[in-house]
Amino acid sequence: MEKPTSNQSLETLDKVRVLYRQGKYEACLSTVREFSQHPEHKTYLEEFLELAGRSQFHLGYLDLALTNFLKLQDLNPNYPKINFRIALSYDEKRDFKNAMDFYKKELSINANHLPSLYNSARLMLFYNETKIAESVYRYIISIEKNATEAYLNLTQCKHFENVAEQETADLLQISLDPTLSVQQKIESSFALGKMFDDLNDYDRSFTYYLHGNTLAYSKKNFDFEDESRYVAAIEKAYSAKLPTSREQTALQPIFLIGLPRSGKTQTERLINLSIHAKPCSEAKVISNLAATMHHLKKTRAEFPISQSQLTEADLGEFTHSIAKKYQDLPGTDSLIILDTTPNYYLYLGLIHQIFPEAKIIHCLRDPLDHCLQMYFKYFSKGHAYSYDLASLGHFYKLFTQMMAFWHKSQDINVLEVRYEDLVTDPQTHQQKIMKFLGVKEFNPVPSGVFNSLEKGRAAHYLQHLEPIRRILKL
């Protein structure tokens, strides 16, 4: 093979740059692999490694991306934003400790690097470091013009008590800026909705929430009919008794099922305070299996129709492969895993087939309060149904229908935990949950484990919630 010249290497690098900008990540990687056959040409190796890592990151090859970024850091510790690239890879792998360490390293070099500031503040909230996160968002507001995202996140950290607070006045002024993007208008509307809700100005609050939700819904339209067909297909597939795995593993899986704002976070916290469990927050291991199962076993149909074609042996293979995926996730070495992936309400039948002894905890709360909490929450991704009251009502009804189906079928082991009861009396519900999990020895939770109970909020907005009340017959 003819060795490339330096000029040819530069031409190859230019080609890789173009492919990356066009979003052709597989082609980008293929070209990088071709270049890597000539290791003597190291002039542009650093940028090749960066582009390869970024392409792998976009394609979901996180371990490969991380390997390339760490190799690049070894070659050049001062390569621009390399600590951020490493942090982002760890973050996506849900290895939050390493992610936080590398965000801090990036910020030690550039204290105003906004993505690192936002992501580190988000992780601080995950670790209940609310005051530190609040200070980070205030710092972002001080250095970024029209920092609507920071204002929105700040409203989740604090309770506003005075309409004259400077942050309220500043955000009101920003919201009038005609140059704001649609995204900034959404963020400022949700932030102002929360501020005025805190101040008990409910009509003004709802006006802002309505504006923000309307803009968000126009960006993320929800196909309810498609979701309904999928649920109907699942119910049809699991109406018959299907085989389950007979394989045993040391893994003890616990799945928390519930829509956003249902009390899953509080339930997860109570369990983590009680026993040594491995948090697998939104790991998507089961949903990824459902999406790829027909390729893995070469079935004639996709999930859920494929389930009737699976044998006990097939399911036994899945038991061991999925158990290994959970064990390979970063975190503690505990064999008790705690998965809170949002859409698992669709896959309880599959979970039961793979792990017949799995424990399922269904988190729920007052329907109107619950719907309102979702309507007042801006999600960075997913949950498009929540931005329209009618869509939200229909989806909530569909979710309730799906959960009722699981409660009645397949001998699935499900415990209901109501948010209002859990927060009001955590000790009693700790006993109830631990008994369900089969745990006899656990750490007692303190009486003040949950700071406040958000209950009855919907009463202030009844006139606005008529679409949901009509659909749910409330």
Q: Which class for 336: exposed (0-12), middle (13-18), buried (19 or more C-beta within 10 A)?
A: middle
- So what's the pLDDT on residue 39? 55
Overall domain count for the chain: 2
Task: Give the percent of the chain with pLDDT over 70.
Answer: 94
- 367-382: per-residue pLDDT in tens? 999 999 999 999 988 8
User: What number is the average pLDDT over the span 465-474?
Assistant: 94
Is residue 99 within 8 A of residue 91, CB to CB? The reply is: yes
Q: Please say if the pLDDT value at position 23 is more than 50.
A: yes
Residue 9 lies in a domain: no
Which of 377, 371, 382 is closest to 471 using CA atoms?
371
Domain range enclosing 347: 233-472
Which of 463, 277, 258, 265 is closest to 367 using CA atoms?
258
Angle of helix 62-75 versus helix 45-59 axis, rounded to 10 = 160
Residue 451 lies in a domain: yes
Strands 278-280 and 336-339: parallel
309 and 393 share one domain: yes
At residue 221's C-alpha, the angle toward residues 216 and 226, to 5°, is 150
Omega of the bond leading into 304 within 30 degrees of 0 (cis): yes
Of 130 and 410, the structure prediction assigns the larger pLDDT to 130
377 and 278 share one domain: yes
Residue 155 lies in a domain: yes
Euclidean distance between CA atoms 438 and 305, whole angstroms: 34
Coil/strand/helix, residue 159: coil
Residue 382 lies in a domain: yes
Hey, which of 295-299, 310-314, 326-330, 465-469 has the most confident mean pLDDT? Answer: 465-469
Query: What's the pTM value of the predicted model, to 2 decimals?
Result: 0.86
User: What number is the average pLDDT over the span 79-91?
Assistant: 95
* CA dihedral over 292, 60, 351, 252, signed as positive or negative: positive
Which strands, in side-by-side order, build the sheet including 252-257?
A: 278-280, 336-339, 252-257, 359-364, 414-418
User: What number is the average pLDDT over the span 143-149?
Assistant: 94
Strand spans (E) along 200-292? 252-257, 278-280
Mean of the per-residue pLDDT values of the chain: 89
192 and 329 share one domain: no
185 and 324 share one domain: no
- The Cβ-side half-sphere exposure at 80, using a 13 Å CA radius, reads 3
353 and 309 share one domain: yes
213 and 241 share one domain: no
Q: Under 8 Å CB-to-CB from 215, ≥6 apart: which residues?
A: 182, 185, 186, 189
The lowest-confidence range among 46-55, 180-189, 427-436 is 46-55
248 and 180 share one domain: no
334 phi and psi angles, rounded to 5 deg: -65, 140
303 and 359 share one domain: yes
Residue 392 lies in a domain: yes
- 27-75: per-residue pLDDT in tens? 888 888 877 766 555 667 888 889 999 999 998 888 899 999 999 999 9
Is residue 10 within 8 A of residue 44, CB to CB? The reply is: yes
- 98-118: per-residue pLDDT in tens? 999 999 999 999 999 999 999
Q: Please say if the pLDDT value at position 267 is more than 70.
A: yes
Q: Please say if the pLDDT value at position 413 is more than 70.
A: yes
What Å distances lie between residue 91 and 71, 360, 429, 434, CA to CA? 18, 27, 32, 31
Last residue of a domain, one of 219, 251, 267: 219
- Residue 1: band (very low, low, confident or very high) from pLDDT cuts 50, 70, 90: very low
Of 278 and 153, the structure prediction assigns the larger pLDDT to 153
Of 333 and 161, the structure prediction assigns the larger pLDDT to 161
CATH of the domain at 394: 3.40.50.300
- So what's the pLDDT on residue 81? 95
